[in-house]
């Protein structure tokens, strides 16, 4: 595995110290490598070193003034106060498996890799129901992916009939995002229609850190 893919893998796994070292190693040979700079800034952000992250994003913008990743994340960091702390995700006991009410689902048609890199296990996500599909977005309204068609069709039908759901990041890997979907309300007319059938690999979601805007 080459160093770039390894750096991406470490970031996806949340191994931020290793991700920092790998991206810094890339930059020793290629100091103007935009991808490595953006990944390094993201790693420092996750470590809570916002000052360092902002400095790196500014360097990216000097090299590429229209770079959307650096511009977007720099604006986000400017809104974070110096006293902002990385805080735990929701209590993992909240994600206890309930037969018929929860399911861990792999997303399809994934979004931009850099948006996936910013996800943490346990992070809340939002669902957007369309005609025959359900798209998943993060808290900053960045597209993450879609639920498979068969599940989208069923949940869309249940939602139209009064059900409601919550979604959270379960795990992120390269080219793979697993989300935990939980039924939080079942309407009276849906009482005989469970949201999910069969088993799930999920037991608990791990505690993780996220940035509170």
* pLDDT value of position 75: 84
Pick the last residue of a domain from 52, 78, 104: 78
The structural domain count of the chain equals 2
In three-state secondary structure terms, 165 is: strand
96 and 29 in one domain?
no
Lowest mean pLDDT among 48-57, 78-87, 180-189: 78-87
CA distances 128 to 97, 113, 140, 171, 181, Å, are: 23, 20, 14, 20, 13
State the CATH number of the domain containing residue 33: 1.25.40.10
Pick the last residue of a domain from 78, 99, 133: 78
**What is the band of 203 on the pLDDT scale with cuts at 50, 70, 90?**
very low
pTM of the model: 0.57
Q: Which domain holds residue 152?
A: 88-211
Domain contains 83: no
State the CATH number of the domain containing residue 175: 3.30.70.2330
164 and 114 in one domain?
yes
Residue-wise pLDDT tens digits, 72-103? 888 878 876 554 444 344 444 445 678 889 99
* pLDDT value of position 212: 33
Range list of H helices, 82-163: 113-117, 149-160
**What is the band of 121 on the pLDDT scale with cuts at 50, 70, 90?**
confident
Lowest mean pLDDT among 30-34, 162-166, 201-205: 201-205
* pLDDT value of position 95: 54
**What is the band of 205 on the pLDDT scale with cuts at 50, 70, 90?**
very low
CA distances 53 to 41, 46, 78, Å, are: 4, 9, 11
Residue-wise pLDDT tens digits, 141-160? 889 999 999 999 999 999 99
Q: Which residues have a Cβ under 8 Å from the Cβ of 113 and sit 6 or more positions away?
A: 8
**What is the band of 116 on the pLDDT scale with cuts at 50, 70, 90?**
confident
Q: Is pLDDT at 30 greater than 80 in this prediction?
A: yes
98 and 66 in one domain?
no
Pick the last residue of a domain from 78, 113, 130: 78
């Amino acid at each position: 595995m080459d160093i770039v893919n390894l750096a991406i893998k470490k970031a996806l796994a949340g191994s931020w110290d290793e991700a920092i070292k790998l991206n810094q190693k890339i930059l020793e040979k290629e100091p103007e490598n935009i991808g490595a700079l953006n990944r390094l800034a993201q790693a420092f952000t996750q470590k809570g070193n916002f000052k360092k992250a902002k400095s790196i994003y500014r360097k990216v913008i000097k090299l590429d003034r229209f770079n959307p990743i650096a511009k977007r994340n720099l604006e986000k960091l400017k809104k974070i106060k110096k006293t902002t702390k990385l805080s735990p995700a929701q209590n993992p006991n909240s994600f206890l498996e309930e037969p018929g009410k929860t399911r861990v689902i792999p997303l399809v048609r994934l979004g931009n890799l850099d948006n996936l890199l910013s996800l943490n296990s346990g992070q809340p996500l939002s669902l957007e129901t369309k005609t025959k599909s359900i798209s998943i977005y993060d808290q900053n309204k960045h597209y993450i992916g879609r639920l498979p068609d068969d599940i989208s069709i069923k949940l869309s039908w249940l939602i139209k009939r009064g059900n409601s759901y919550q979604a959270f990041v379960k795990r992120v890997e390269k080219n793979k995002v697993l989300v935990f979907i939980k039924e939080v309300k079942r309407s009276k007319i849906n009482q005989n229609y469970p949201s999910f059938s069969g088993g799930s690999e999920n037991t608990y979601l791990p505690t993780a850190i996220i940035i509170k805007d």
